[in-house]
Structures are given as C-alpha cells and as structure tokens.
Structure 1
Amino acid sequence: MSSASARLLKLFEGHRLTPTQRRIAHCMVRRADDAPFLSSVELADLAGVSQPSVTRFAVALGFDGYPALRRHLRETEPGEGAETGPDGDPANGVNEYQQAVHAEIENLRHLAGLLADPAPVERAGALLAASRPLPVLGLRAAAAQAGGFAYFAAKVHPDVRLLTEGGSMLLDRIDGCVRAGATALLCFALPRHPRETVEALDHAREAGLTVVTVADSAFAPVARPGDLLLPAAVGTALAFDTACSPMMLGRVLLEAMCDGLPDAQARLEEFDARASERGLFAE
C-alpha cells in the first residue's frame, strides 16, 4: 500500500459513511496519487456517483465541501500519517481488504476487553433464559444476526420467536409475545438503524418487556435508559459493514443463556440423537 493510500484510509477511519460514500472513498484509495487533483465532477465519474454525492461525502468527513477536502489532501505532507500494521510495522504491501480484516480483529480485541467483566452478559443470559416466549428482533442489516441467534437458541430454549420483518404486523407480533408470557426481548441493532426498530423497541418497553440490545455502540439511537445494552463495534472499512463482533457477542449470549437453562444440555443431546436417526447431516 502506498503512503498516499494509507493517509486516505487514515482520514476515512472512524467515519460513518453510507455505501455510496464508501464507494467514493474506495475510488480515492485506488487513485490515491491523483485524488488531490481530481475535480468533484471527475471523482464522481470515476466512482460512478453523482456530483452532489461527492460534496456530501466531503461534508461527512468534516469538511465544508469538496474543495476543502481537496485542499487538505494537497497540503498533507507525503510522509505524514503513515499507516502501520497491527504490530506497529509499516503497512507497505497491506491492501484494503487486509486492512479491513485487521480492523475487524481490533474490534474483536475490544470486545474481549469488555467481556473481562462478564456481569452484563450473565445478567442478559438470565433474562433471556427466563422469558417464555423469547422474541428476537433484528431488522434489515441486523436480520442475519437475529436469525443466527434464533436458530441456535431454538435448540435449547423452548419458545423462540424470530422477528425480522417490519411493517404493520411487527407490533402485533410483539403484543402476541407479551400475551403468551414474554418478559424480555433481545434486539440486534446495527447501522443504519431502521426507524421501525426504534419504534418496535419503544412499543416493547411500553408493553413491559425488558429490552436486551446488541448494538454497534452504547450511543446507538435505539438505546434507552433502563435497557441492558451490550456494545459490539462493526467494521466500516468496506462498502458494507462487517459484523464479526456482534455475531461473536451473540454466541457469547447464547452460552450465558444456556447457563440459565437447566435442561439445555439434555435438549442438545436429544437434538443430536434425532439428527442422527434422520441422517440430517452429511458427515
């Protein structure tokens, strides 16, 4: 990776960019040597976006507009802000895909640090284990995380109800869970946060459910006082977010929930026996 590319990656790091804005960022990294001299129209053509998108991109980075961003790039000294690898070595030869993996590894390290205090996860596991049924909510980008959790949770929890579709039926389904005896709701909330997720959680709280949320930040727009919020950062180095840390935290929550279900092991053994009888798996 050239020093110019490394400086650009450093500039973009930590900013919440839309997929269109990330496309512009990736184009600039690929054309790092030319980037300080491209007009907004030229950059828009190269990235395949509109010229106003380039302006909004510059503003998202904290500049008054694209001219200010270009001026900043021109004024940056060639040796300034050189990127280093995860062990402090120069990042020469590390491409943008490897950079994204390194960033995700750092997110996992940060999660490991948070888990040094297991009390919040243990409390969450107990709440989820005690809820009958257990609604698991995840809309749009978070649907995959909610689905993965619900798939495994159903092997040990007697009644897991997956909520991954918004619309007018969502609040009805939450009400149905409450009527059936639910006491807690698990939500996976990832950027960009759908307004429907915020509304669904407000409804769940009003209905008396304790909300446990896995979110990308403690300051996510879904957070409310009284919730049990467990943060797990997402990666932002690629065109679309990567969610290794939220997935890992979901598996940790499953482990903690199993500790609160006395018959969890028996249920797993029963499933394995039935799966073997049915020849469910190829191995």
Structure 2
Amino acid sequence: MTDSPAARLQQLFEGHRLTPTQRRIAHSMVRRAADVPFLSSVELAEVAGVSQPSVTRFAVALGFDGYPALRKHLREVVPPGSVPVEDALNEYQQAVRAEIDNLRHLCDLLADPAPVLRAGALLAASRPLPVLGLRAAAAQARGFAYFAGKVHPDVRLLDEGGTLLADRIDDARRAGATALLCFALPRHPREVVAALAYAQDAGLTVVTVADSAFAPVAGHSDLLLPAAVGTGLSFDTACAPMLLGRVLLEAMCDDIPEAQARLEEFDAKAAARGLFVE
C-alpha cells in the first residue's frame, strides 16, 4: 500500500540528495519503521552501523534542526503499532516500488508527447549527433548512442571528460552538428555543466535527459526532459531515464525517413555474419 508507514518514511527521504552513509541510515530506518521513532541517535547509529554524528548530519540534511526534531516528526508519521506485517517491505522491495512510481510519473509526463517529438526532430536533423554522458550518466549515453547508430549516419559518443571534451564538441560543430543530446544524472559533474554551456556558445541546441527539471544542467539546456532516478539504494537507479532515452530514440526514428531501411540492412548483414545466437 502506498500509504503504509514504511512508504511514508520513504517519502520523507525523497527529493534529498543523500550521501551513501545517509542512505544507509535511511534504509535502516525503513527496515525498522515500527520502532525507529523511539530510538536514540546512538541506537540508530548502532542499527545502521554508522557514527552518531552521521545520524545528526542526516537529520540536518533532511531539513530538521537535529535528531530530536526528526524523531519527533517520525513519531507523528509512524505512530505506535501502525506497521502491519504485510506492509513492512524490505529495502529491496521499497527500491523497486519507488522505481515503479518513477515510471508511472514518466508515463503521466508523456501524456503530452510534444517535448519528446520536438527533441526527436532536433536530434534526427543533427548530422553528426554528439551524445554526452559522464560518470553515472555514461551508461545511458552509451546505450543511446549504440542504438541510435543503427539508424543515424553519424553518432558521436562523448563519455569521457577532460580537456579534449571541448575539442570534440568543436569537431562535431564544424562537421555540421546542430544539436547535442546530454544525459545528466546525479551526482552532477561540474564538467557536464561547463560542457553544455560551451556547446550552447558554439551554437548547438542542447537537449537534456535529466533527473529533474531543476537539475544543475537546466540553465544550459534548451530542451530538458525530466525522468526521476531512484534513491532507495546506496547507488541511484535509473530505470526511468533509460526508458525515456528509448522513447526519445523512437521519436528520432520517426524523423529519419531511412531509419527502417537501415535497420533492415543491419539485420540482413547480422544474419549473414552469424552475429547473434538464434
């Protein structure tokens, strides 16, 4: 049930950028939802396997003056005896449920397909098409570039930072690029923000898939498509951004007249080479 005490605890943590240690505390609290409102900061630290000052910093990170204020709030959110056994989901179930909620939210956003259709047209028209993603977002960029390369004649993956990043943006612009696609996920590298600013100054239209419309990259994105990440585990989960990337691919294919022919050509060559195990 989405209104279970464990779920309400999870909602308390949503929207906050927590460190791995703070997430560990949050996980422990969800697992002990029934009795955590009555634990001292020292006891919670022992349960989570962290230091007592870490618990205090965790409370402040959530917007409370300290742990006593957080505990007072918890007693209002999770009253005694309010956690039925069937609602006490473990941390893995909570993470999956949170991702399902993220996908539902993405589904609601896609009720208006106009932003995705506009993005698809921009990306399809850019020859070449640079695709940027660093650190946590590198896998999303790489996956998009892999599939996009089957239908787009010139996709250039930018998944490594450093001083050459600006050079590669310049190279793409000189070759005729008109747009750049960026995947930006937390924690957001300063280098990505700087790269997007540089791309805009170079005359590229920046399309960004980010975890929030208020992400640090928003100020340097001409078109931002939000898809929330899951924060229920020690490391973010990115099911919604990945799916949004595939939706964006579909929209891009619709604006490339030769897309279907390219896919059929690839399939024929793959079969001739015995590329895949049937």
TM-score, normalised with respect to structure 2: 0.90
Please tell me whether the aligned partners of residues 156 and 267 of structure 1 are also in contact (alpha carbons under 8 angstroms).
yes
Amino acid at match of 2:96: V
Superposed counterparts of 1:74-223, under 5 Å: 74=75, 78=79, 92=87, 94-223=89-218
Counterpart position of 2:242 = 247
Is 9-18 or 263-272 further displaced after alignment?
9-18
The AA in structure 2 aligned to 1:259 is D
Check 1:100–1:150 CA distance in 2 against 1; reply closer, same or farther (3 A cut).
same
SS of the equivalent of 2:127 reads coil
Q: Secondary structure at the match of 2:218?
A: coil
SS of residue in 1 equivalent to 2:156: strand
Structure 1 unaligned spans of 5+ = 85-89
Are the equivalent residues in 2 in contact too, given 1:213–1:230 (CA < 8 A)? yes
Q: What secondary structure, in the 3-state scheme, does the structure 2 residue paired with 1:161 have?
A: strand
- CA displacement at 1:31 relative to structure 2: 3.4
Alpha-carbon distance between aligned partners in 1 of 2:118 and 2:11, rounded to the nearest angstrom: 38
1:50-103 per-residue CA deviation (whole Å, 9 max, x = no partner) reads 4332222101111111232233335656269x689xxxxx96253332222222
Instruction: Report the AA paired with residue 123 of structure 2.
Output: L
Distance 1:240 1:217 in 2: 17
Alpha-carbon contact 2:33-2:83 (below 8 Å) kept: no
- State the AA in 1 paired with 2:19: T
Q: How many residues align?
A: 276
Q: 1:224 to 1:165 in 2, by over 3 A?
A: same
How much has 1:167 moved relative to structure 2? 1.6
Counterparts of 2:37 and 2:13, CA distance in 1 = 15
Aligned partners of 2:53 and 2:174: how far apart in 1? Answer: 49
Amino acid paired to 2:44: L
Q: 1:259 aligned to 254, 260, 266, which one?
A: 254
Q: Identity of aligned pairs, percent?
A: 80
> In 2, are the aligned partners of 1:213 and 1:229 still within 8 Å (CA)?
yes
After alignment, is 10-19 or 150-159 more displaced? 10-19
Three-state SS of the structure 2 residue aligned to 1:271 is helix
Superposition RMSD in Å: 2.5
Q: Shift in Å at residue 43 of structure 1?
A: 3.1
* Shift of residue 224, structure 1, vs aligned partner: 2.2
Which residue identity is paired with 1:151?
A: Y
Unmatched 5+ residue regions in structure 2?
none
How far the C-alpha of 1:4 sits from its partner, in A, is 6.0
Question: 1:10·1:83 contact (CA, 8 Å) conserved in 2?
Answer: no
Q: Distance in 2 between matches of 1:267 and 1:65?
A: 59
Match for residue 274 of structure 2 among 260, 266, 279: 279
Aligned match of 1:232: 227
Match of 2:27 in 1: 26
Code of the residue aligned with 2:118 in structure 1: it is R
| Equivalent position SS for 1:223 | helix
- Which residue of structure 2 lines up, in the alignment, with residue 87 of structure 1? none
